[in-house]
Structure 1
Amino acid sequence: MATENICAVEKRGRVYLITLTGEGEHRLNSALLSAIRAAVAAVRAFPGGASALVLAAEGKFFSNGGDLAWARAGTAPADRQLAYRAALRGLVADLLALPMPTVAAVTGHAAGAGCALALAHDAVVMRASRGFLYMSEVDAGIKIDFVGEVLRQKVPDAVARRDLVMIGDKMTAAEAVRRGIVDAAVDGGVEDVVAAAVAMAEELAGRGWDGENLANIRKATWPVLWSWSKVKDYGGEAPARPRL
């Protein structure tokens, strides 16, 4: 099953695998984000018992971040940027509310919003031999808002977060595992990483957790991220942080 020929969905055992297709950089724009959200919605609608989700990508990149060329093109670039931010927040909200465990298979480079998308999952498996996590905004001179909040919530170690966001370190899988940012570094190629992520997801599915309770636990564990992901677009200004 494919979604707009941008991503494909297949089932391996109890695991639904969404793959960003093609050899490109998988830069995030409204079309790609909408396709991923449609695939996640389709997975959620499938009947069945305990299951899990894996997000992976073909080619050299897991995702090289936001599609800046697309966002700045056209007659209304400000509207495109608002739509992009809203779609990204919506996808993170979808993952937080999904009634099953989620695993990101970081098969290649994950930069900027692509890095944040990977970390928005419950667990992250990363290719050991190729690719890195990289928050490119500081080098590119780009403001971060919601993406920064994802990093704040999902990278609890302040030094690791500083090195990613403020220094722009390009972290390999081994370094990311050492710093507690990802769960496993996998030797081999793309299919090896995907297979490891599917195996991890299958194990999680086998726990037989109540899906809706799992989703509610996510929202309670990361309430600020859940609140940010659900607000209407704020025109580039961060919404007020909720009281905890």
Structure 2
Amino acid sequence: MCSLEKRGKVFILTLLGDDDHRFNPTTLDAISGALKEVEESPDAAALVTASQGKYFSNGLDLRWIAEDPNARLDIIRDKFENVLATFMRVGIPTVAAIGGHAAAGGLILALAHDYRFMTEGRSVLYMSELDHGMHLPRSLMALIRSKLHPAALRDVVLGARKLSAQMGMERGMLDGVCEDPAETLETAVREAEKMVGRGWKREVYRGLRLSAFPGVVEELDAHRDSYRFA
């Protein structure tokens, strides 16, 4: 499902395989396990999240959910929100290396990181909920709203626009655009290594992130409402 590689004090979490990296209990538990390993490592000073194949992630596993929507929507909500909250709480800088499409929950996962670099080309940033007739929990909207400028929020959430890497860069969603997935990953790792060299204290970094995006983790922890289809 995912692997965890260590390069000095930078940990690289990679979503494995050539599929579209959908989120279901199995994949989310694997990511949670990797994050726990990072948190428990005294050597970890930055985290990069990457993926194999042409997708960063295509979001929730709708096929798995469709087998029992009433029960499974709440299960997936809790596990996904817990993963996002962990990314927001981890006391080290986080960088998303978006080497392919980041749609719906995949885009939300990328937004949970501190920095984002993306491969140029056909890959898009896309919130598909409007097109699928799907309501988002207020917790996820809190995270999205905290990371996007108002005009970008309108285009992404209320316009369901499919944004290229360059369009995402213009809207302040990305910190850099790269030629191919390999360069995207290496750029993300280099940026992470720069931050490692600053020697920041985990508790200070964690506290400043939570203060910079107030209320987001509290909403994620509360599990107030569920995904639902119109």
For the pair 1:123 / 2:118, whether they are aligned, the reply is: no
For the pair 1:38 / 2:33, whether they are aligned, the reply is: yes
- Distance in 1 (alpha carbons) for counterparts of 2:167 and 2:225: 35
CA shift, 1:104, in A, is: 0.5
- Distance in 2 (alpha carbons) for counterparts of 1:13 and 1:72: 42
- Distance in 1 (alpha carbons) for counterparts of 2:225 and 2:215: 19
Out of 171, 175, 188, the position equivalent to 2:167 is 175
Out of 182, 195, 200, the position equivalent to 1:209 is 200
CA shift, 1:163, in A, is: 0.6
- AA paired with 1:212? E
- AA paired with 2:197? G
* Residues 113 and 147, structure 1, Cα contact 8 Å, conserved in 2: no
Out of 217, 221, 225, the position equivalent to 1:226 is 217
For the pair 1:70 / 2:60, whether they are aligned, the reply is: no
Question: What do you get for the CA RMSD once the two structures are aligned?
Answer: 1.3
The 5 A counterparts of 1:146-161 are 146-155=139-148, 157-161=149-153
- Distance in 2 (alpha carbons) for counterparts of 1:96 and 1:27: 21
- Distance in 2 (alpha carbons) for counterparts of 1:29 and 1:35: 10
CA shift, 1:213, in A, is: 1.0
For the pair 1:138 / 2:130, whether they are aligned, the reply is: yes
- Distance in 2 (alpha carbons) for counterparts of 1:120 and 1:167: 21
For 2:55, the equivalent position in structure 1 comes to: 61
- AA paired with 1:180? G
- Distance in 2 (alpha carbons) for counterparts of 1:235 and 1:97: 21
Identity of aligned pairs, percent?
Answer: 37
**Deviation digits for residues 182-232 of structure 1 (CA, Å, limit 9, x no counterpart):** 1111112x221111111111111111111111011111111221111211x
Unaligned runs of 5+ in 1: 1-5, 238-244
CA shift, 1:234, in A, is: 2.8
CA shift, 1:103, in A, is: 0.3
CA shift, 1:40, in A, is: 0.6
Q: After TM superposition, which residue ranges in structure 1, 4 or more long, deviate above 3 angstroms?
A: none
CA shift, 1:235, in A, is: 4.1
SS in 1 for 2:6: strand
For 1:17, the equivalent position in structure 2 comes to: 12
* Residues 118 and 124, structure 1, Cα contact 8 Å, conserved in 2: yes
- Distance in 2 (alpha carbons) for counterparts of 1:130 and 1:200: 24
CA shift, 1:147, in A, is: 2.6
- AA paired with 2:39? R
For 1:197, the equivalent position in structure 2 comes to: 188
CA shift, 1:149, in A, is: 2.1
- Distance in 2 (alpha carbons) for counterparts of 1:235 and 1:147: 10
Q: TM-score scaled to structure 1, two decimals? A: 0.89
SS in 1 for 2:134: coil
